[in-house]
Amino acid sequence: MLPQETDVLVVGAGPTGLALAIALQQAGIRHVVVDRLPAGHNTSRAAVIHAHTLEVLERIGVTGELERRGLPLTRFALRDHDKALLELDFSMLPSRFAQILMIPQDETEAVFAERLHSLGGDIRRGVTARKVEPDAAGATVHLDTPEGGCTIRARYVVGGDGMHSVVREAAGIAFDGETYGQSFVLADVHMDWGLSEEVTLFFSPEGMGVVAPLPESRYRIVAPVEEAPEAPDAAFVQALLDARGPRKRPGRVRDVIWSSRFRVHHRVAARYRSGPLFVMGDAAHVHSPAGGQGMNTGLVDAVVLGQLLADVVRGKAPEATLDLYEEKRRPAAAEVLELASRLTRIATMRSLPGRIVRNLVLRALGASPVFRRKLALNLSGLARKGLGMVPTR
């Protein structure tokens, strides 16, 4: 049975919703987290957690378990087939977590759910937020549950409910941007692969491709295509690797564990707050998967917002303190969107003259320790570290 009222209602129990719920539970804040799915996602989707995100997640006590279950890597490379254009060494990052942690999203969600339950919290699944009605004192949320419809009063409502956010729509927040023309293939596979210790972004006239090792001898492959089948098979994924990957030591796909297709949008919410309503994660920003930034940005959103809400609800900070959330996190999202868009543009360059110039420029930049450090700091999120911190009280 859902309570009739709460301080914070979190809509969506993906990684961002769970991270926010943990932060609130740790602080002793009354909250309810609901999700329309009867069970958590059982697919891997987002698969990388960067250094700055691991630092922030220490605040909610999950970093150690994520490291135990994940695969730490320190190398990232941009390649044109067999030619290394630029290579980064993440072991040199100024962080206790000088790595790229590869861990499937379903494992991340499992770690978060276990942490929430260990603190005495829970997740109300199979519950859909149908309508959100904000007012001066909070919001009334109409829910569909397995037992029927009900309403809940909340002082604050946070939308971690994805790109088609009900909370964002109720807040009247614009979500401007565009949709990439191509669809993206995402597949987790077993394969024979010669670059098993690095995350690789491949450039080719046929388009870009990302290959990254995962725990348990799996690999993640992401690539844009004009038209993709709903569930790409081994032959389809192999063709992508043959066209875009290395030529001298080509990868050989043995089987596909899981695959999907999706469309990529490039959007950021005009505001992150409207009165008692907030948005975070994919409800606030979506972009190309280049650089593996999406979930990381949303997780930092959640922890920052959790701290601010806890301070205000407990009376340790005035209501106006909540405006820091947008002040901190929207500029971070704008920077991430620009980084992901820039990587996508240079990776999908088709003309031969453009590719020649691009490769020469990248090789020249790759010879500069200053540039390599700057790019590594951007990809790791450490360059935006100040946008993931709020004053402690």
Give the dihedral of Cα atoms 99, 105, 107, 108; nearest 10 deg: 60
Distance separating alpha carbons of residues 252 and 241, to the nearest angstrom: 8
Best CA proximity match to 221, nearest among 249, 190, 194: 190
Best CA proximity match to 13, nearest among 2, 22, 1: 22
Confidence check: pLDDT of 134 > 60: yes
Number of domains making up the chain: 1
Distance separating alpha carbons of residues 349 and 64, to the nearest angstrom: 40
Cβ atoms of 177 and 267 within 8 Å: the answer is yes
Residue 275: give the domain boundaries: 5-73+96-177+266-350
Best CA proximity match to 156, nearest among 25, 1, 331, 308: 308
Q: 3-class DSSP state for residue 254?
A: strand
Domain-embedded: residue 375: no
Q: What is the largest CA-CA distance in the chain?
A: 65
Domain-embedded: residue 34: yes
Domain-embedded: residue 20: yes
Residues 6+ apart with CB under 8 A from 270: 173, 174, 175, 176
Distance separating alpha carbons of residues 248 and 241, to the nearest angstrom: 12
Question: Given this model, what pLDDT does residue 393 score?
Answer: 59
Distance separating alpha carbons of residues 255 and 188, to the nearest angstrom: 9
Q: 3-class DSSP state for residue 292?
A: coil
Domain-embedded: residue 382: no
- φ/ψ region of 127 (left if φ > 0, alpha if ψ in -120 to 50, else beta) reads beta
Domain-embedded: residue 366: no
Q: Could you tell me the pLDDT band of residue 378, with boundaries at 50, 70 and 90?
A: very high
State the burial class of residue 220 (Cβ atoms within 10 Å of its Cβ: 0-12, 13-18, 19+).
buried
Residues 6+ apart with CB under 8 A from 336: 285, 287, 291, 293, 294, 297, 384
Cβ atoms of 136 and 112 within 8 Å: the answer is no
Encode pLDDT of 166-209 as tens digits.
999 999 999 988 876 678 899 999 999 999 899 999 988 788 89
Distance separating alpha carbons of residues 169 and 153, to the nearest angstrom: 18
Domain-embedded: residue 230: no
Confidence check: pLDDT of 291 > 80: no
pTM (two decimals): 0.94
Q: What is the mean pLDDT of residues 366-384?
A: 94
Domain-embedded: residue 385: no
Confidence check: pLDDT of 51 > 60: yes
| 201 residue type, one letter | L
Encode pLDDT of 248-274 as tens digits.
999 999 999 999 988 778 899 999 999
Say which CATH number the domain at 291 has.
3.50.50.60
Tokens of 23: 């932060």
Distance separating alpha carbons of residues 314 and 27, to the nearest angstrom: 9
Domain-embedded: residue 364: no
| 365 residue type, one letter | L
For CA atoms 26, 329, 341, 366, give the dihedral sign. Answer: negative
Q: Could you tell me the pLDDT band of residue 392, with boundaries at 50, 70 and 90?
A: low
Encode pLDDT of 101-122 as tens digits.
999 999 999 999 999 999 999 9
Best CA proximity match to 139, nearest among 156, 122, 151: 156
Tokens of 158: 């946070």
Of the two residues 374 and 346, the one the predictor is more confident about is 374
